[in-house]
């Protein structure tokens, strides 16, 4: 036991958190000793971007992972939580290019090698700020094993798997349609495209003349310059006579065929669609099926290259110009503006993305995706919650080949070299290209290297002790929004590289963080939470507990500053309870054999809480774990047992019981609120650190009779407190009372908790409360303003009776019952029942008032 003076009177997180985290890391408490064959638990952190900072989504994700890791560490498993960062190709290149622009320079002024060197310099000086922010949150990661997707080991892993996939025919180069950013001048993955509902214009254009005319609609009129067909559904009788014929494409003089394709929806619009294979992914597929030519009518910057009056215009300038020319030619049948439709934007620079045919490198995903689906279907990998599994299958079962090349300078350069005669060779790690050959200028998609993360970070392709001890990893914690992108890619590459062994046993998915009204957080809404500001204001523990208290598997998490304040108050409650226990001699020692009912009750409840919390952790139900611990700590332990322990005779050895309960409670809370529990536990027990102590196990102690007895006592006290409050009595105001039918062992406790003094001569009860077989008679005369209280109650009673009359009138009205929606009827019935209950309560309280 430590002296109570070791704890200040108030808890100030800023005085504790930095000091404790430094002590933990200096002591190597987060670094596991690799013991061959020993039970292990491992998580590799979803690597944040090197350009990133800790946002509320990170804070939730990391809080969940840290809770899992800290618990398993306390359970005695060799536990690894491996940190690291992603090089974030486009984002990082954009940051450095913006810095160069301030000096009036571009990357081309420096050249490739000098620019890449500049990026490395930026990374060393300014990148990775999020790592320090992770420390502030309390992440118990093993910093000695920190990795970066561009470090030497991971670069070797990238070359190794690229070479293996290439040699197996699973990587190929081809012209395909991809997402293209005209500003960043690179291909984009699907996850790098953000869709928003934008105002545009839908124009209907007549192709052809007379009976051969056909009308198509588009929001991108400029792409008609690259049309090579019009498509209709094979079963659409309206156009059956036109299939196989050609019509003239307006403004161009070219003639294009009308083809029948099942992709066309005959119910949408006119049932006919323009086909621009080089500038639309669906049109590209139609073009492939019908052997249509692909006409590229704009360059990589989105400038029109098609010969004619629009050549040289930006695509967005060309759009109204083309519409105007069609209007003058009498080809516009209809115009709808504004027309709201989904538009893809580059996630980094917000430029409108352009679908574009381009020569790129691809992964042939079919066999890899099939294996990724099978691993979940046969139970080797479990998705939590299970309802998310169909979404995973929908993705992996219908995955298109993955475009892995990016037209950037920052990233893993594609290891393919070209000879003067056009031949190519893939060069693996440790190999040298033929002299005089040139390397492909593209780099790999950032997701390519991060797909290797679960095993490359552990030393693959080398056979390392870490790889043998910690692969497959135990669980992947991530948001459901990237299930399709990152998770599926890790599954494919892990199974492929590790001879069919899955990269993780469990995929635990959580939702997005929203405000208290369930609204998505947005700067434009003004409801974005900065977790670092909350940490400054309320502490890391309160921030974590607020997020975890809403974290159910797969569900979105609602938070508010008010709830963060409540979590801070919870930490303060723990602090004050521990100080009280220390002041009263709390100690970790053997409990006496003659425990009282109150002692047995709190210990029985504690044993149940251990079992419940264990189950919640195993099911990834962090919200339930938080609620269980919150209510036990605040309601049962602090509000009841601590108060009961102050009453002589209510505990056989209050210091020992207080010490036992706090010891277990603080250990249960540690994974959720690591800092305050460390400070309190070490003060209470004198132990070195709660981080490496043992996780509590249910001791099987159960006393149903004690729980029932104290529950009855709690109901009695609660009911009398409610009556006192209803009568307007202040909590500390003493009232004379008699108590009949109560076990004498509890009378002192009840009187102390309820501020009831013994009845003296001349005692005249003004109220009688029968509760739990006990009758409490109180003399409230002189304690309240009877006239004012009677007036208030009569006013409330009149309002409740009016509510009854209105509700009964509605429910007795046939027209109302016939026309009102069922939820309205149900709500009216509920209001009636509540009003009737209120009337009974108010009448009882009026009757209890003294006459006069």
Q: Which residue has the tokens 């099926």?
A: 289
Q: Sign of torsion, CA 760 762 767 770?
A: positive
Rounded Cα gap, residues 230 and 249, in angstroms: 10
| pLDDT over threshold 60, residue 36 | yes
Residue 590 host element (H or E): none
Q: Give the mean pLDDT of 761-771.
A: 84
- The reported pLDDT for the residue numbered 851 is 67
For the stretch 40-85, pLDDT in tens is 999 999 999 999 999 999 999 999 999 999 999 999 999 999 999 9
Rounded Cα gap, residues 752 and 749, in angstroms: 5
Q: Give the mean pLDDT of 640-647.
A: 95
- The reported pLDDT for the residue numbered 168 is 98
Rounded Cα gap, residues 735 and 756, in angstroms: 5
Residue 841 pLDDT level (bands cut at 50, 70, 90): confident
Q: Give the mean pLDDT of 604-627.
A: 97
Q: CA-CA distances (angstroms) from residue 34 to 27, 459, 504, 506?
A: 17, 14, 19, 22
For the stretch 349-375, pLDDT in tens is 889 999 999 999 999 999 999 999 999
- The reported pLDDT for the residue numbered 583 is 96
- The reported pLDDT for the residue numbered 133 is 96
Measure the N-to-C terminal CA separation of the chain; round to a whole number of Å. 58
- The reported pLDDT for the residue numbered 739 is 95
- The reported pLDDT for the residue numbered 2 is 54
| pLDDT over threshold 60, residue 830 | yes
Q: Give the contacts of 96 (CB within 8 A, at least 6 positions apart).
A: 107, 115, 118, 119, 122, 410
Q: Give the mean pLDDT of 214-220.
A: 92
- The reported pLDDT for the residue numbered 408 is 94
Q: Which of 145-159, 301-315, 716-730 has the lowest mean pLDDT?
A: 716-730
Residue 245 pLDDT level (bands cut at 50, 70, 90): very high
Rounded to the nearest integer, the mean pLDDT of the chain is 92
The first and second tokens of residue 397, run together, are 């079962």
DSSP letters spanning 740-773: ES--GGGHHHHHHHHTEEEP-TT---SEEEEETT
Rounded Cα gap, residues 607 and 628, in angstroms: 12
Q: Is 84 left (phi over 0), alpha (psi -120 to 50) or beta?
A: left
Q: Give the mean pLDDT of 82-107.
A: 94
| pLDDT over threshold 90, residue 336 | no
- The reported pLDDT for the residue numbered 703 is 96
Q: Give the contacts of 30 (CB within 8 A, at least 6 positions apart).
A: 24, 81, 140, 141, 142, 143, 691
Other beta carbons within 10 angstroms of residue 135's beta carbon come to: 18
* Phi and psi torsions of 552, nearest 5°: -105, 150
Q: Give the mean pLDDT of 479-494.
A: 86
Residue 78 host element (H or E): strand 78-82
| pLDDT over threshold 70, residue 850 | no
- The reported pLDDT for the residue numbered 780 is 81
* Phi and psi torsions of 601, nearest 5°: -60, -50
- The reported pLDDT for the residue numbered 750 is 94
Rounded Cα gap, residues 770 and 401, in angstroms: 75
Q: Give the mean pLDDT of 462-481.
A: 94
Q: Are 717 and 750 in contact (CB under 8 A)?
A: yes
Residues flagged as binding site: 523
Q: Give the mean pLDDT of 378-407.
A: 94
Rounded Cα gap, residues 217 and 199, in angstroms: 16
Q: Which residue has the tokens 């264990």?
A: 614
Go through the chain and tell me how many residues it has.
852
For the stretch 103-149, pLDDT in tens is 999 999 999 999 999 999 999 999 999 999 999 999 999 999 999 99
Residue 619 pLDDT level (bands cut at 50, 70, 90): very high
| pLDDT over threshold 80, residue 3 | no
- The reported pLDDT for the residue numbered 555 is 87
- The reported pLDDT for the residue numbered 68 is 98
Q: What is the largest CA-CA distance in the chain?
A: 117
For the stretch 672-730, pLDDT in tens is 999 999 999 999 999 999 999 999 998 889 999 999 999 999 999 999 998 888 877 88
The first and second tokens of residue 627, run together, are 């609620």
- The reported pLDDT for the residue numbered 105 is 95
Three-state secondary structure call for residue 714: helix
**Exposed, middle or buried: residue 639 (CB in 10 Å: 0-12, 13-18, 19+)?**
middle
- The reported pLDDT for the residue numbered 523 is 67
| pLDDT over threshold 90, residue 563 | yes
Residues flagged as binding site for ATP: 523
For the stretch 413-458, pLDDT in tens is 999 999 998 899 999 999 999 999 999 999 999 999 999 999 999 9
Rounded Cα gap, residues 162 and 171, in angstroms: 8
- From 413, 181, 130, 433, select the one nearest 302 (Cα to Cα): 181
Rounded Cα gap, residues 462 and 716, in angstroms: 68
| pLDDT over threshold 60, residue 410 | yes
| pLDDT over threshold 60, residue 1 | no
Domains of the chain, CATH where assigned: 186-355 (3.90.740.10), 560-702 (1.10.730.10), 712-779 (no CATH), 786-848 (1.10.287)
β 171-181/214-218 pair status: unpaired
- From 734, 713, 723, select the one nearest 636 (Cα to Cα): 713
Q: Give the mean pLDDT of 19-33.
A: 97
Three-state secondary structure call for residue 340: strand
| pLDDT over threshold 70, residue 483 | no
């Amino acid at each position: 036991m430590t002296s109570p003076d070791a704890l200040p009177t108030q808890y100030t997180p800023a005085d504790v958190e930095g000091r404790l985290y430094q002590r933990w890391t200096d002591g190597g408490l987060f670094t596991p000793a690799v013991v061959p064959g020993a039970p292990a638990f491992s998580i590799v952190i979803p690597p944040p971007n090197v350009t990133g900072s800790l946002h509320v989504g990170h804070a939730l994700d990391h809080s969940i992972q840290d809770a899992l890791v800290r618990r398993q560490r306390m359970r005695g498993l060799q536990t690894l939580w491996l940190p690291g960062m992603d090089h974030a190709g486009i984002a990082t290149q954009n940051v450095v290019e913006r810095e160069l622009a301030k000096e009036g320079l571009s990357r081309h002024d420096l050249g490739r090698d000098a620019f890449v060197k500049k990026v490395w310099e930026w990374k060393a000086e300014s990148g990775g700020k999020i790592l320090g922010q992770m420390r502030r949150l309390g992440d118990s990661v093993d910093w000695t094993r920190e990795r970066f997707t561009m470090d030497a080991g991971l670069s070797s892993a990238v070359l190794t798997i690229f070479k293996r996939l290439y040699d197996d025919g699973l990587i190929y180069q081809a012209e395909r349609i991809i997402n293209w950013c005209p500003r960043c001048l690179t291909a984009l993955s699907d996850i790098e495209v953000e869709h928003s509902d934008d105002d545009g214009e839908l124009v209907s254009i007549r192709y052809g003349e007379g009976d051969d005319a056909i009308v198509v609609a588009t929001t991108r009129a400029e792409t008609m310059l690259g049309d090579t067909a019009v498509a209709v559904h094979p079963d659409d009788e309206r156009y059956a006579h036109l299939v196989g014929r050609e019509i003239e494409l307006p403004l161009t003089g070219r003639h294009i065929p009308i083809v029948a394709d099942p992709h066309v929806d005959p119910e949408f619009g006119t049932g006919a669609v323009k086909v621009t294979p080089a500038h639309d992914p669906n049109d590209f597929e139609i073009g492939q099926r019908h052997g249509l030519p692909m006409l590229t009518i704009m360059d990589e910057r989105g400038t029109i290259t098609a010969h004619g009056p629009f050549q040289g215009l930006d695509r967005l300038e060309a759009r109204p110009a083309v519409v105007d020319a069609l209007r003058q030619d009498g080809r516009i049948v209809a115009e709808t503006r504004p027309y709201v439709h989904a538009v893809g934007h580059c996630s980094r620079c917000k430029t409108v993305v352009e679908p574009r045919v381009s020569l790129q490198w691809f992964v042939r995903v079919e066999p890899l995706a099939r294996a990724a689906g099978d691993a979940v279907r046969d139970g080797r990998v479990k998705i939590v919650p299970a309802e998310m599994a169909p979404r995973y299958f929908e993705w992996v079962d219908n995955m298109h080949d993955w475009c892995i090349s990016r037209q950037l300078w920052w990233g893993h350069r594609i290891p393919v070299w070209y000879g003067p005669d056009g031949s190519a060779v893939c060069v693996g790690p440790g190999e040298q290209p033929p002299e005089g050959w040139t390397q492909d200028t593209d780099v790999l998609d950032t997701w390519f290297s991060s797909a290797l993360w679960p095993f490359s970070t552990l030393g693959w392709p080398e056979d390392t002790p870490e790889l043998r001890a910690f692969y497959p990893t135990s669980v992947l914690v991530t948001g459901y929004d990237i299930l399709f992108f990152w998770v599926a890619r890790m599954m494919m590459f892990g199974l492929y590289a590790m001879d069919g062994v899955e990269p993780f046993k469990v995929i635990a998915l959580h939702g997005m963080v929203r405000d208290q009204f369930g609204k998505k957080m947005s700067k434009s809404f003004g409801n974005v939470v900065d977790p670092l500001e909350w940490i400054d204001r309320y502490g890391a523990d309160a921030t974590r507990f607020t997020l975890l208290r809403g974290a159910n598997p797969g569900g979105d998490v609602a938070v508010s500053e008010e709830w963060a304040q409540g979590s801070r108050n919870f930490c303060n409650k723990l602090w004050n309870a521990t100080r009280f226990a220390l002041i009263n001699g709390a100690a970790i020692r053997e409990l006496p054999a003659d425990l009282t009912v109150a002692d047995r009750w709190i210990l029985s409840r504690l044993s149940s809480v251990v079992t419940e919390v264990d189950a919640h952790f195993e099911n990834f139900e962090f919200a339930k774990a938080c609620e269980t611990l919150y209510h036990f700590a605040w309601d049962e332990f602090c509000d009841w047992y601590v108060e009961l322990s102050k009453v002589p005779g209510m505990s056989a050895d209050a210091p020992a019981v207080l010490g036992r309960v706090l010891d277990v409670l603080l250990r249960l809370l540690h994974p959720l609120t690591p800092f305050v529990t460390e400070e309190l536990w070490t003060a209470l027990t004198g132990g070195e650190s709660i981080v490496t102590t043992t996780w509590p196990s249910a001791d099987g102690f159960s006393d149903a009779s004690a729980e029932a007895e104290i529950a009855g006592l709690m109901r009695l006290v609660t009911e009398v407190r409610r009556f006192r409050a209803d009568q307007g009595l202040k909590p500390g105001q003493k009232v004379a009372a008699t108590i009949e039918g109560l076990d004498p062992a509890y009378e002192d406790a009840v009187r102390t908790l309820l501020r009831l003094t013994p009845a003296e001569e001349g005692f005249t009860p003004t109220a009688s409360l029968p509760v739990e077989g006990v009758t409490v008679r109180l003399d409230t005369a002189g304690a309240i303003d009877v006239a004012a209280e009677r007036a208030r109650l009569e006013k409330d009673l009149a309002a409740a009776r009016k509510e009854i009359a209105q509700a009964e009138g509605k429910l007795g009205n046939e027209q109302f019952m016939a026309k009102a929606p069922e939820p309205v009827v149900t709500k009216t019935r509920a209001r009636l029942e509540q009003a009737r209950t209120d009337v009974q309560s108010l009448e009882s309280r009026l009757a209890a008032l003294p006459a006069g």
